Amino acid sequence: MWEETQMKTIEGGVCAAQGFTAAGVHCGIRKNKTKRDLALIYSSVPANAAAVYTTNLVKGAPLLVTKKHIADGKAQAVICNSGNANTCNANGVEIAEQMSELLAKELKIKAEDVVVASTGVIGQPLDIAPIASGIPALVKGLGQHSEEAAEGIMTTDTKLKEIAVSFTAGGRECKIGGICKGSGMIHPNMATMLVFITTDCAISSEMLQKALSTDIANTFNMVSVDGDTSTNDMVTVLANGLAGNPEITKEGEDFAAFMQALNTVTVYLCRCIAGDGEGATKLLECKVSGAKTLQIAKTVAKSVICSSLTKAAMFGADANWGRVLCAIGYSGAPVDVNKIDVQFASKAGTILVCQNGAGVDFSEEEAKKILLEHEIEILIDLKSGNAASTAWGCDLTYDYVKINGDYRT
C-alpha cells in the first residue's frame, strides 16, 4: 500500500521532473524592463498532456489554440506571455498560432505540440514583434530556471508561486512540480488562473485528464478572490514518462499515488493564489464539516469564502459571525440553521462564536487577536452528516479597489 511518508517536498518547481527545463525573459510587452514577460517550459521528449479551461464564454485566443493543439493528448512545450491577455482581438488566434510556430521553429518541434497562454489586459492588440525577438533568447536561456518562468507569467501577483514533490509509483521515484499566477479575477469554475504542472511520471493522456479533472473540483474550483471568472484561465499538465515507471493506464495503487502527489501540488498553489489575492493581507480557509452531502459542503464553503461582507470583516479582524451565517443562508444549500456551529481559528488560537445557530459569549479581545493573524480558518460544523469541504480566499481591502481602479495604467 502506498504511504504518504514516501512523498516529500523538493526544490525545482517545473524543472524538478526529469527532462524539463524552463526560462523567462523580458521581451518588451511590459514597459517595466526589470519584469520578465515571456516564459517557457520545455520537455526534452514529447509528453502526454491534459488541460482544463475557463467556463467564461469570452475566451482568450490562446485557449482556443491550445485546446486544438492538445486534442491528441500530446505537448512538448509551454509558452506564456504576461502584460497582454490576447483576448477580444480580431487577430488573436493568428497571433497565438504565430507564437506556437516561432517557438516550434526555434526548438525544432511541431507547432501542434506547443501550449500557448497569455495573461494581462483584455482588449488590447498583442504585437508579435517583441515576442518574435524574445524567443531566441528564451530558448537559449533554457535550464533549471523554474523561478524565471514563474516570474514571467506574473501580472498583479506579488509573490512567485512554485512547488515540487517526489513520490513513488511502480517502484520508481517520480517527481511533479508546478508554477502558477493568480491574484485577481479569481473565481474559477472547471478551470483556474494559469497553472502549469510538469511530471516525469509515466501516465496515459486519458488517466492524466481524469486525474486533473477530478482534482480541480476540490482545489482550484474552490478558490475565490473577487468573484470574477477570467477569460484566460487554464491548468495544463505535461507528463513525459522519463521516471521509467510502468505507464499508469487504469485506477489502482499507482494512480492513487499520482493523485495524492498532484493534490499536494494543487492545494499548495491554491493557498498561494488565495493568500496573494490583489491587495490581500490574509489567507482565508473555510472548512465545512458535518454536511449531509459533499455538494452541500462545497456550496456552503464557497458561499462564505465569496462573501464580500465576510471578507471585509476578516480584513478588520472583526469576529462578525453573523456575516458567515448570512452567507450560509443565501447559499442555496439545504441546511438546518439551528444546528450550525462557527469557530474562528489561527495560530493564535481557536474561538467558538456561534453554537446551534445562535451567538455565544466570547472574548472580543481574544477573537481580535486570532483574526489579526495572516492565515485565518473559518470552521463551520453543520452537524447533519459526514461530508466535508474546504474553500480558499482572502480578505477584501482598500488596496483591491486601488489596484483595479487603474489596472490598465
- Catalytic residue, from 155, 192, 264, 266: name it: 192
CATH code of domain 4-275: 3.60.70.12
CATH code of domain 283-405: 3.10.20.340
pLDDT in tens, 238-273: 999 999 999 999 999 999 999 999 999 999 998 888
The Cα-based distances of 76 to 79, 110, 177, 199, 238 in angstroms read: 10, 9, 16, 12, 8
Residue 92, SS3?
helix
Look at the chain and count its residues: 409
**55 flagged as catalytic:** no
Is 348's pLDDT higher than 80?
yes
Least confident of 120-129, 143-152, 357-366, 378-387: 120-129
Which positions ≥6 away from 301 have C-beta within 8 Å? 222, 286, 287, 288, 380, 389, 390, 391
Is 280's pLDDT higher than 90?
no
pTM: 0.83
Per CATH, 4-275 and 283-405 having the same topology is answered no
Report the C-alpha gap between 169 and 181 in whole angstroms: 29
Share of the chain above pLDDT 90, in %: 73
Report the C-alpha gap between 202 and 35 in whole angstroms: 35
The Cα-based distances of 381 to 297, 307, 358 in angstroms read: 10, 18, 13
Least confident of 107-111, 218-222, 376-380: 218-222
Phi and psi angles of residue 41, each rounded to the nearest 5 degrees, phi first: -125, 135
Given pLDDT bands bounded at 50, 70 and 90, which one contains residue 136? very high
Cell, residue 23: 526560462
Residue keyed to cell 502506498: 2
pLDDT in tens, 57-104: 667 889 999 999 999 999 999 999 999 988 888 899 999 999 999 999
Average pLDDT, the chain: 90
DSSP per residue over 294-341, as a string?
Answer: HHHHHHHHHHHHH-HHHHHHHHTT---HHHHHHHHHTS-----GGG-E
pLDDT in tens, 158-216: 788 999 999 999 999 999 999 998 754 444 443 337 999 999 999 999 999 999 999 99
Residue keyed to cell 516550434: 104
Domain ranges of the chain: 4-275, 283-405
Distance of alpha carbon 58 from the chain centroid: 20
* Residues linked to residue 376 through DSSP beta bridges, in sequence order: 284
Report the C-alpha gap between 323 and 131 in whole angstroms: 47
Given pLDDT bands bounded at 50, 70 and 90, which one contains residue 228? very low
Question: Average pLDDT, stretch 346-350?
Answer: 98
| Highest mean pLDDT, choosing among 30-39, 58-67, 126-135 | 126-135
Report the C-alpha gap between 114 and 96 in whole angstroms: 10
Residue 305's Cβ-side half-sphere holds a number of Cα atoms within 13 Å equal to 34
DSSP per residue over 280-291, as a string?
Answer: ---EEEEEEEEE
What is the pLDDT, as a whole number, of residue 408?
Answer: 55
